[in-house]
Amino acid sequence: MRVEKLPPVKATLQPSNHPYLNGAWTPQHEEVTATDLDVIEGRIPDDIDGVYLRNTENQLHQPLGRYHPFDGDGMIHQIDFSCGKASYRNRFVRTRCFQAEQDAGGSLWGGLMDKTGVSKRPGFGAHGSLKDSSSTDIIVHNGKAVSTFYQCGEGYVLDPETLEQEGVAPWVPLDGISAHPKVDERTGELLFFNYSKHPPYMHYGVVDGSGKLAHYVPVPLPGPRLPHDMMFTQNWSILCDFPLFWDEELLKRDVHVTRLHEGLPSRFALIPRYGQPEDIRWFEADPTFVLHFINAYEDGDEVILDGYFEEDPYPPPIENADGYGHMMAYVDEHSFKPKLHRWRFNLVDGTTREERLDNRILEFGMMNQRYLGQPYRYAYSTTSKPGWFLFNGFVKHDMVTGESWTIELAEGRYGSEAPFAPRVGAVDEDDGYLVSFVTDENRGTSECILIDCKRFAEGPVCRIALPHKISSGTHAHWADRSVL
């Protein structure tokens, strides 16, 4: 392995016992480019061609208040596969806020858990006083990577192969974009939403295949909400209004505290891809909160949506968490209990039917993106370590037969969100690999693993060494060479 280190960035973070500034969440401040990566086990297949992109949170400066793991500075890690070889590089996302704090030599904004007045400058996003760290999601559209922030940031563009930074996406509206925009590979369109604290509280938009904003309309809501994901089918886009959102009375004092509003249902908005507000079809369902969906598709008179239903979206604090009990519970899947779930929206009579598909704690679902918005058969979820935001395994589901297969990582080894990479020349939906970065706390190292989805239960067919230990984080994306 040949490693080139880039000049260091400014960092003022001091050692602490914060649970999400240590261990597998230790921030990585080093930027490198590495070629001819060493293979630990197996061999790199020559039928995988593209890039795996991973977004992580890496706090650079001493926090002004109480640090939350979602406050960290965004860093994109990339591994590039071609002709049986692999290279790696990682870069901070140079947001306006990142550069401002580099210039200032320290933190300028408070975090998600801080009270009003901590930030030294006006903030960004739906919250209004946060740093846009662009640390949540990463996708590829129109040949470019787009990094996004869950509280509706500006959306930053990078070259997916070199990670060269190209600034703010030119099509992003004033209210920003939420994490989890979706790309329809059939049409080349990107679908997105945002949310805010002012009427109409949500917008929905479409960016065409050339990267131009083609459609942008309001989706009126009763008040400020906190949607996190969306999905689409061939004809419909699906947006959400869940009963977990900011306390309205506290929000009047600019205090951002979430609570579960008893008595309110979950609501799903189905809007035609280029529809207007008057075209929206609203469907009610059991109260919950959903972080992530897997897929949606049309089946006769029904629209089917698969995702993860939270059984306890307002969990009690984790005890003995050194003052971080609320935060620890909100990022611990075993506290809010997401379960694989299906919603069926009947377009004729307006009713919703629901079905539990698996009773295990599962989240961060992936599937073959070529089938996004279409009927599909296979889904891939992560399992998590109780009490922590750490992935310790993967599950493959056959959504037709109900069968599933599981891979468990060894104690102290933690994975990343694992997108599906179709094999070159693949015909079957599951003919390809899951790609994931793994942080090994036992050895203080990180690696990339490939799992052959045709032989899923056999575990990784290849393990590739990375040049340094990476921090855990949130989301990842696979892009075939053909879309780059």
Instruction: Detail the residues annotated as belonging to a binding site.
Output: 180, 228, 292, 475
Which structure tokens are listed for 419? 């997108």
How far is residue 108's CA from residue 91's CA, in Å, rounded to a whole number? 21
Contact 441, 426 (CB under 8 A): no
Neighbours of 220 (CB within 10 A): 12
Return the CA Rg of the chain. 21
99 Cβ contact list (under 8 Å, min separation 6): none
89 Cβ contact list (under 8 Å, min separation 6): 31, 32, 33, 34, 77, 78, 80, 162, 163
- Which residues line the annotated binding site for Fe cation? 180, 228, 292, 475
- CA 255 remoteness from chain centre: 26
Distances (CA, A) of 98 to 69, 118, 155, 266: 16, 17, 14, 36
Contact 423, 444 (CB under 8 A): no
25 Cβ contact list (under 8 Å, min separation 6): 19, 57, 69, 389, 471, 472
**At residue 207, what are phi and psi to the nearest 5 degrees?**
-110, 130
Distances (CA, A) of 82 to 217, 325, 415, 432, 446: 41, 45, 23, 15, 21
SS3 state at 201:
coil
Which structure tokens are listed for 318? 């984790």
Contact 119, 180 (CB under 8 A): no
